[in-house]
């Protein structure tokens, strides 16, 4: 039987060569005497499931198909994909034919495609096997969130939940007690640290989407509208412009707690990112609901934007976090030396020792990478610049500005840079007519 085109299960933005290079990098990292096994995502728990692959599995395979396993030989980087025999939700007819297998091998440069009941025989000859000892991410999840949720579920005496990665390790130990299991997590973490040009292009698209959400939300904001209006705008922009959903739980907070309606004189914070071709971005913007920063907002928010610009100017290859923070603090104290209130805020931020180059971004909004604060920044790293301050007994005690950046040869590029963050630019934008809320008839 002829197989219909499988183009929909292949990445639209990465080539087979890119996935093959990643598998070769993984093989080199685990060494010639070991293999690596990755587990694809299961079917979603819906009557008519749309499929979304596990992030790391997609990162090395490029296959958007449920219940697969990928085995990579460390000796020669040969890769074998194990697939279900039938009932595959996003394959026409639910089953791969020889023609479909040929499409996968040709498009993704995978050496062999076998039914997954052949995996057991392949494992018989393996002595050292690398598998993930922590959960693989999916859309709208982070590794930390999955671990925390699983911990609570495991503590429930009536559920005693185990994650899929835990079950895979347990089953491998039970069926193949002679195999030495090693953690693949440090390997994938290091691989994700430096983004390829193709990854940066996708991350640039994700950043533009997030910036577009902020722009439309700023223009739509006015006192009296429901807070959920802004969330609806973000949903609309991601679906319309990116054919995607949210990469993580949106943070949408007015300064006054429990204010479901936007209040005149208040500020609103938006922190969001899409799940765009398996990658995301991270942005945070604060703006006045009435379109005009008052004197306190102008002073304190203006200080944070000044800090933000200093940190952006210092981001470059070879720089170390602590050195940057020390230099930024010196510049800010000099800038506000004649402003006692501003000096106090800067000293507050220094004392808190906040990580302004807060976390890396990529497949996950909190990309799990091997870099530490002692490691220098490197070209191709994607991370956030996120100066923030908490002030007690202040009208709006939490103020921040966040952008996702990529380290370039000579500095950095703001991937979320099309959304304004400076006071004059925000106030000017909020005077422009918005297109929301939509009047649908």
For 281-306, the pLDDT digits (tens) are: 999 999 999 999 999 999 999 999 99
Nearest partner of 40 among 103, 83, 86, judged by Cα: 83
- How far separated are the first and last CA of the chain, in Å rounded? 47
172 and 206 inside one domain = no
Kindly state whether residue 170 falls inside one of the protein's structural domains.
Answer: yes
Longest dimension (CA), the chain: 79
Question: Where a domain ends, among 165, 191, 217?
Answer: 191
385 and 242 inside one domain = yes
Please state, for a pLDDT cut of 90, what percent of the chain lies above it.
Answer: 78
Residues 109-167 pLDDT 10s: 999 999 989 999 999 999 999 999 998 988 888 878 888 888 888 889 898 889 999 99
pLDDT at residue 258, as a whole number: 67
Average pLDDT value for residue range 316-323: 95
Kindly state whether residue 379 falls inside one of the protein's structural domains.
Answer: yes
Average pLDDT value for residue range 378-393: 92
Kindly state whether residue 438 falls inside one of the protein's structural domains.
Answer: no
3-class DSSP assignment, residue 384: strand
Residues 341-373 pLDDT 10s: 999 999 999 998 888 998 999 999 999 777 777
173 and 295 inside one domain = no
pLDDT above 80 for 29? yes
Average pLDDT value for residue range 52-65: 96
Kindly state whether residue 284 falls inside one of the protein's structural domains.
Answer: yes
pLDDT above 90 for 241? yes
pLDDT at residue 53, as a whole number: 95
Determine the Cα angle at 161 with ends 158 and 163, to 5°.
Answer: 175
Which tokens hold the place of 404? 């996702």
Partner residues linked to 390 by β-bridges: 398
3-class DSSP assignment, residue 178: coil
Domain count, the chain: 2
pLDDT at residue 392, as a whole number: 77
Pick the residue with more confidence: 375 or 181? 181
Kindly state whether residue 402 falls inside one of the protein's structural domains.
Answer: yes
Distance, in Å, from the CA atom of 223 to the CA atom of 291, rounded to the nearest integer, reads: 9
Kindly state whether residue 1 falls inside one of the protein's structural domains.
Answer: no
Kindly state whether residue 437 falls inside one of the protein's structural domains.
Answer: no
Distance, in Å, from the CA atom of 199 to the CA atom of 187, rounded to the nearest integer, reads: 18
221 and 118 inside one domain = no
265 and 386 inside one domain = yes
pLDDT at residue 439, as a whole number: 55
Return mean pLDDT, the chain: 93
Helix, strand, coil abundance in the chain, percent, nearest 5: 40, 20, 45
Q: What is the CATH number of the domain that holds 26?
A: 3.40.350.10
Contact status, residue 41 vs residue 53, Cβ threshold 8 Å: yes
Lowest mean pLDDT among 64-68, 341-345, 434-438: 434-438
When pLDDT is cut at 50, 70 and 90, the band that residue 441 belongs to is very low
Average pLDDT value for residue range 207-225: 96
Average pLDDT value for residue range 372-377: 84
Segments forming the whole domain that contains residue 89: 7-191
267 and 172 inside one domain = no
Question: Where a domain ends, among 164, 191, 218?
Answer: 191
178 and 280 inside one domain = no
Kindly state whether residue 440 falls inside one of the protein's structural domains.
Answer: no
pLDDT at residue 3, as a whole number: 75
417 and 371 inside one domain = yes
Distance, in Å, from the CA atom of 374 to the CA atom of 376, rounded to the nearest integer, reads: 7
pLDDT above 80 for 395? no
Q: How many other CB atoms are there within 10 angstroms of residue 293's CB atom?
A: 20
Question: Where a domain ends, among 191, 213, 241?
Answer: 191
Distance, in Å, from the CA atom of 222 to the CA atom of 225, rounded to the nearest integer, reads: 6
pLDDT above 70 for 255? yes
Lowest mean pLDDT among 35-44, 47-56, 253-262: 253-262
3-class DSSP assignment, residue 280: coil
When pLDDT is cut at 50, 70 and 90, the band that residue 437 belongs to is low
253 and 288 inside one domain = yes
pLDDT above 50 for 440? no
- What's the whole-model pTM score? 0.94
169 and 227 inside one domain = no
Name the CA dihedral angle for 14, 16, 21, 26, rounded to a multiple of 10 degrees: 90
Beta strands in 120-220 (DSSP E): 128-131, 180-183
Q: What is the CATH number of the domain that holds 356?
A: 3.90.230.10
140 and 244 inside one domain = no
Average pLDDT value for residue range 329-341: 97
Interior/surface letters 63-97, b for 16+ CB within 10 angstroms, e for the rest: bbbbbbbbbbbbeebebbbbbbeeebbbbeeeebe
211 and 349 inside one domain = yes
Name the CA dihedral angle for 5, 11, 12, 17, rounded to a multiple of 10 degrees: -100
């Amino acid at each position: 039987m002829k197989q219909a085109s499988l183009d929909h299960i292949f990445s639209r933005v990465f080539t087979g060569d890119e996935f093959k290079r990643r598998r070769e990098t993984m093989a080199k990292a685990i060494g010639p005497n070991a293999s690596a096994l990755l587990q694809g995502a299961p079917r979603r728990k819906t009557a008519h499931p749309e499929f979304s692959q596990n992030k790391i599995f997609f990162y090395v395979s490029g296959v958007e198909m449920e219940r697969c396993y990928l085995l990579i030989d460390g000796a020669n980087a040969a890769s074998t994909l194990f697939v279900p025999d039938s009932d595959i939700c996003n394959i026409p007819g639910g089953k791969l034919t020889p023609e479909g297998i040929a499409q996968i091998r040709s498009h993704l440069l995978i050496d062999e495609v076998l039914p997954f009941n052949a995996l057991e025989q392949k494992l018989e000859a393996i002595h050292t096997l690398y598998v993930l000892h922590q959960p693989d991410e999916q859309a709208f999840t982070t590794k930390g969130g999955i671990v925390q949720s699983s911990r609570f579920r495991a503590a429930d005496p009536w559920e005693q939940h185990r994650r899929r990665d835990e079950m895979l390790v347990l089953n491998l130990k039970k069926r193949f007690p002679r195999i030495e299991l090693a953690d693949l997590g440090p390997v994938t973490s290091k691989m994700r640290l430096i983004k390829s040009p193709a990854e940066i292009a996708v991350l640039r698209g994700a950043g533009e989407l997030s910036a577009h959400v902020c722009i439309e939300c700023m223009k739509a904001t006015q006192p009296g509208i429901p807070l959920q209006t802004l969330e609806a705008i973000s949903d609309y922009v991601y679906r319309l412009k990116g054919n995607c959903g949210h990469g993580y739980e949106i943070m949408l907070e007015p300064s006054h707690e429990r204010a479901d309606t936007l209040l005149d004189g208040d500020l609103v914070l938006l922190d969001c990112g899409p799940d765009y071709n398996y990658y995301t971005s991270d942005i945070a913007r604060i703006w006045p609901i009435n379109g005009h920063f008052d004197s306190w907002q102008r002073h304190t928010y203006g200080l944070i934007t000044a800090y933000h610009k200093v940190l952006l100017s210092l981001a470059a290859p070879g720089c170390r976090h602590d050195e940057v923070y020390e230099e930024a603090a010196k510049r800010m104290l000099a800038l506000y030396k004649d402003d006692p209130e501003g000096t106090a805020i800067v000293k507050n931020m220094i004392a808190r020792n906040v990580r302004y180059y807060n976390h890396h971004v990529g497949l996950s909004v909190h990309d799990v990478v091997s870099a530490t604060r002692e490691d220098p920044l490197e070209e191709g790293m994607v991370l956030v610049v996120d100066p923030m301050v908490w002030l007690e007994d202040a009208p709006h005690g939490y103020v921040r500005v966040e952008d996702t950046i990529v380290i370039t040869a000579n500095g950095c590029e703001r991937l979320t840079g099309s959304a304004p963050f400076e006071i004059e630019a925000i106030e000017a934008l909020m005077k422009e007519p918005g297109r929301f809320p939509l009047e649908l008839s």
